[in-house]
Amino acid sequence: MDLADFDREAVLASFLAESEEGLDLMERVLVQMESSPSDPELVHNIFRVAHSIKGNATSLQLSELAGVAHVVEDLLDVFREQHTLPSPDLISLLLKAVDELRAMVSTASTGNQELTPGQQNLRREIAHEVKKRSERAVNANGSAGDSGSAAKADTLPGPGHRTLRADVEKLDHMLDLTGEIVIAQGRLRRLIQKLGTEQGRAMLEMHREAERLYMDLQSEVMSIRMVPVGPLFRQLVRSVRDLARSHGKMARLEVVGGDVEVDTTVLEQLKDPLLHLVRNAVDHGLEKPEVRERQGKNPCGVIRLTAAHSGGNIIVTLQDDGAGFDRERILDKARRVGLVSAKDEIREQDIYDLVFQAGFSTAEAVTDLSGRGVGLDVVRRNIDTLRGTVEISSTAGKGSTITIRLPLTLAIIEGFLVRVGAETFVVPLEHVTECTELPAEQRCSEASGILSLRGTALPYVRLRHAFSLSGEAPKRENIVVVKINERYAGIAVDELLGGMQTVVKPLGRAFRAVPGIAGSTVLGDGRVGLIIDVPSLLRGVMQSSSQAQA
């Protein structure tokens, strides 16, 4: 019965992966049971999960883990037999069991482990529930419920198509390599073009062929990295449920577009901001059930999380039907902490922008959820790092909508190359709307200025100043016009060099959050070029300009 060590390793690895998936499913189904308590089939699905975890744990000699899985299985079996669904309290208990199982599974590789007192309690509590219920069943039916339905449950649904688990690090490396090939090919093409001979032309033809094949390979590599947003969104379903319960509110999260795909790195980094926004919606947005009823709303608040594609972007919207953002309170608070002065006229959009400022929070009491004044500014920073934007729109009494726009992938962007002095910078093309020469009569040597573009005022920032680069500005300067959050601004540079597919590389751990810089890339000549973080570069100038206009 003893498994050789290496066999055990392999079995353990697949046990970990399988159990994780199973527990995710269990969690999802439990939450679903609560909102649509009409489908007894649901119990069958998760019974199977508990059963297979128990079986696998036993064969790996993880008897404590198997024990907990066993009582969970028993409890679910009771509901299965009685064709009923667990009450909300029991669902909470089962969800707690899911959490504990998850914790035990993740530490399973270290061998069989003692149960913590909390886990022992949980196990006893569940066992107690089982006993209570099955006794009732015995009394009602006169026969004991048979818990041995193992044979059926052993057959897990077979995979529809063949899949393979791969380490994300390997995918990252593959992507790095494809990026390197782009650069190497660019340099090779330039060399061949220089040749100019008959042979050179033939080589160029071959090279084009290779480039086409390469493009196909690259898009395949990119597509492997794309994962659906559904699993992340569904985790939040559980969070919303738990949060609402602990705050005496009723809320349910609806997920739309769960099969929309996005790069795995983007998804990973979207997790924290989304959790934050969802918490914020439950804590600040949704009203207590009695308040909602008084206003003629359904006592159970609805938060709708939607994902959709739009061009090269994914758009995630979080919509709630709560009270909406309180404009007056935001303004009041902003004036008190000095973010705006009393006289300033503020545009609707700008008011909501204030909540993303560091240190801003309107919550009167500090709860465990929010009100600490850290939060939405972190959300904004996270989304900036993903080169995305976030916007709020809100109607008092009706609810609010938060729209997050993110690029589908972080790895490769269409870049627009510009030169300042000896340095080449990359402006992400998605921000660029047009380029224009800075008219001589509007030139000044200031760090920033305002330019008249077809009659409208366009604030611009001079890159040379913003980045303290050496050298004098040339006689003719150019302006790259960019658009952020429906507003336009300009970046003054020495020369426009044109577009290029750019492989984004992080600047590395040595640098953290360099203002104005989003990352780096290797240029065609092998030098490192810096990618400009347009939102952070322009945030200052945008704000002062909107105040100037008002």
Partner 1 sequence: MGAPNQGKNQLPLSTVQYLTFLTAGEEYAIGIGKVKEIIEYEAVTTVPNTPIWIRGVTNLRGRVVPVVDLAVKFGLPASRISKFSCVIITEVMFQGEELTMGVLADSVCQVIELSADEIEATPAFGTRVKTEYLLGMGALGKKFCLILDIDKVLSTDELLAVTESVADEGSVHAPAVDLGADAPAKQKAAHFEAGA
| CA-based nearest residue to 524, from 504, 498, 500 | 500
Distance CA 409, CA 406 (A): 8
- The minimum distance between CB 472 and partner 1, in angstroms, equals 17
**Which tokens belong to 150?**
């193992």
Q: Per CB under 8 A, does 458 bind partner 1?
A: no
Question: Considering only 235-243, 353-361, 394-402, 480-488, which stretch makes contact with partner 1 by CB under 8 A?
Answer: 353-361
Amino acid symbol at 6: F
State the DSSP code for 233: H
- Selected from 338, 364, 472, 498, the binder of partner 1 by CB under 8 A is 338
| CA-based nearest residue to 278, from 301, 257, 259 | 301
- Cβ density class 273-284: b for 16+ within 10 Å, e for less: bbbbbbbbbbbb
Q: Per CB under 8 A, does 423 bind partner 1?
A: yes
Nearest 10 degrees: Cα torsion 376, 304, 391, 297: -90
Distance CA 352, CA 326 (A): 9
Contact flags string 499-528 toward partner 1, x per CB under 8 A: ------xxxxxxxxxxxxx--x-x--xxxx
Of the pair 43, 277, the CB lying nearest partner 1 is at 277
- The minimum distance between CB 419 and partner 1, in angstroms, equals 12
Residue count of the chain: 550
CB 104 within 8 A of CB 65: yes
Of the pair 122, 351, the CB lying nearest partner 1 is at 351
Distance CA 504, CA 58 (A): 47
- The minimum distance between CB 372 and partner 1, in angstroms, equals 5
Q: Per CB under 8 A, does 550 bind partner 1?
A: no
Which residues between 155 and 194 bind partner 1 (CB under 8 A)? 176, 179-180, 183
Which residues between 528 and 547 bind partner 1 (CB under 8 A)? 528-530, 536, 539-540, 543-544, 547
Q: Per CB under 8 A, does 358 bind partner 1?
A: yes
SS3 435: strand
- Selected from 139, 310, 341, 456, the binder of partner 1 by CB under 8 A is 341
Q: Per CB under 8 A, does 385 bind partner 1?
A: no
- Selected from 373, 391, 403, 484, the binder of partner 1 by CB under 8 A is 373
Residues near partner 1 (CB under 8 A), total? 48
Q: Per CB under 8 A, does 339 bind partner 1?
A: yes
Question: How large is the angle between the packed helices 198-224 and 168-195, nearest 10 degrees?
Answer: 160
Distance CA 86, CA 129 (A): 11
Of the pair 429, 517, the CB lying nearest partner 1 is at 517
Q: Per CB under 8 A, does 469 bind partner 1?
A: yes
Of the pair 158, 526, the CB lying nearest partner 1 is at 526
CB 479 within 8 A of CB 491: yes
Question: 């972080």: which residue's tokens?
Answer: 410
Binding site for partner 1 (CB under 8 A): 176, 179-180, 183, 337-341, 358-360, 372-374, 377, 423, 466-469, 505-517, 520, 522, 525-530, 536, 539-540, 543-544, 547
